[in-house]
Amino acid sequence: MKLRTLLTASTAVLALAGTASAETMKIGITQNNVGVDSYQTTYEKAFIAAAEANANVEAVVLDAGGDVARQIAQMDDLIQQEVDAIIIWPTNGEAVIPAVRKAHQAGIPVIVTNSNIAEAGFEFVKSFSGPDNITQGARSAEIMCEKFTAMGIQDEAKVVHITGQPGYTTAIERAKGFEDRLPEVCPNVTVVDTQPGDWNREKSQQVMEAFLVKYDDIDGVYAGDDNMGVGALNAAKAAGREGIIFVGATNFAVGYEAMAAGEYWGSIYQSPVDDAEAALKTAIDVLSGKEVPFLNYFDTPKITQDNMGEFTKPVF
């Protein structure tokens, strides 16, 4: 197989060497933060596997470690390497725009994966490949409203909201989707507080602990992903607070297991393997001259305790 994959963690470099043919597409990717959660770890493995399975692809796989400055430097490095296309999983949707613009000016098509950059940078991007995060937030609101309605508390329920990392487009969009949709479907449900959990289970548990002290009445928790949602669940269990409805997004294995145990109500099913493979395919299609939509979404359906038997347990 004619492939070279470069894996960069922080300063360490691991090279899997081979010889690329003249027709090989050299595709670079700079990821957000592979070590922060199992979704991103699984995504990277799936991306590498998909690249290795395609003899026409030479992949340069980088990880920014959540550091905007490092990601900008990685973009510069990929431009200097004269890759044919760059895939970026942004660490910050605003801050990376100058680097994306620089790649565009160098004639390198940029594909944004998983979490889009801010709208001001759209003109420098060939395509976004990933989930529709606003729709995910809206679907989570619908899941919560449907459950409240079944419980007969749709006119009085109080909800707390744990968001992802501030400035991160996925966090912004999921929050917007939820906050816009909930009043449409359950106008009398009140969101009493919103705090960031930074995609971190331990921090989200601490946020929920503070909510539980501050509010005697909490009927529901919406978390921007299941990792944070399970952190909130753990806090409620430790405090002996029962009857709270937990709804998340990006159905992690821990979320799926908590649903199976009857402790966590619902989420949005999203596969990191589909995410990674879609990003690579989008880059290949762009380089092959195919027309691709600017917003190239893959579907992310609702999953609850009622229908979870239709879905396999996530591998992340």
Q: What are 231-255's pLDDT values in tens digits?
A: 999 999 999 999 999 999 999 999 9
- Indicate the length of the chain as a whole number: 316
For position 180, what pLDDT does the model report?
Answer: 98
CA distances from 170 to 12, 20, 173, 228, 286 (A): 28, 35, 5, 14, 24
Q: Concatenated DSSP letters for 62-89?
A: EE-TT-HHHHHHHHHHHHHTT-SEEEE-
- At position 54, the amino acid (one-letter code) is N
Q: What is the pLDDT of residues 197-222, one digit of tens each?
A: 999 999 999 999 999 999 999 999 99
**Longest CA pairwise span in the chain (Å):** 66
For position 256, what pLDDT does the model report?
Answer: 98
At 142, list the tokens: 């619908």
For position 23, what pLDDT does the model report?
Answer: 79
* Of residues 233, 169, 171, the one with CA closest to residue 205: 233
Q: In what order do the strands lie in the sheet with 25-31?
A: 13-16, 5-8, 57-63, 25-31, 85-88, 110-113, 127-130, 295-297
First to last CA, the chain: 28
Q: What is the pLDDT of residues 14-46, one digit of tens each?
A: 333 333 344 799 999 999 999 888 889 999 999
Q: Please state, as a whole number, how many other Cβ atoms lie within 10 Å of the Cβ of residue 84.
A: 18
- At position 149, the amino acid (one-letter code) is T
- At position 316, the amino acid (one-letter code) is F
For position 10, what pLDDT does the model report?
Answer: 33
For position 167, what pLDDT does the model report?
Answer: 84
For position 293, what pLDDT does the model report?
Answer: 96
Calpha distance 245→49 (Å, rounded)? 38
For position 303, what pLDDT does the model report?
Answer: 98
Blockwise average pLDDT, block size 10, the chain, 316 residues:
37 34 84 89 97 97 97 98 98 96 98 95 97 96 98 98 92 97 98 96 98 98 97 98 97 96 97 95 97 94 97 91
Check if the beta carbon of residue 218 is closer than 8 Å to that of residue 211. Answer: yes
Q: Phi/psi zone of residue 289: left (φ > 0), alpha (ψ -120 to 50 degrees), beta?
A: left
Check if the beta carbon of residue 268 is closer than 8 Å to that of residue 244. Answer: no
For position 4, what pLDDT does the model report?
Answer: 38
For position 225, what pLDDT does the model report?
Answer: 96
Parallel, antiparallel or unpaired: strands 5-8 and 13-16: antiparallel
Burial 238-260 (b: 16+ CB within 10 A, else e): eeeeeebbbbbbbbbbbbbebbe
Calpha distance 21→259 (Å, rounded)? 48
At 237, list the tokens: 């269990």
Instruction: Answer positive or negative: Cα dihedral of 229, 312, 261, 44.
Output: negative
Instruction: Answer positive or negative: Cα dihedral of 114, 129, 294, 143.
Output: negative
- At position 140, the amino acid (one-letter code) is S
CA distances from 251 to 6, 122, 196, 265 (A): 29, 28, 19, 11
Q: Is the pTM of this model over 0.85?
A: no
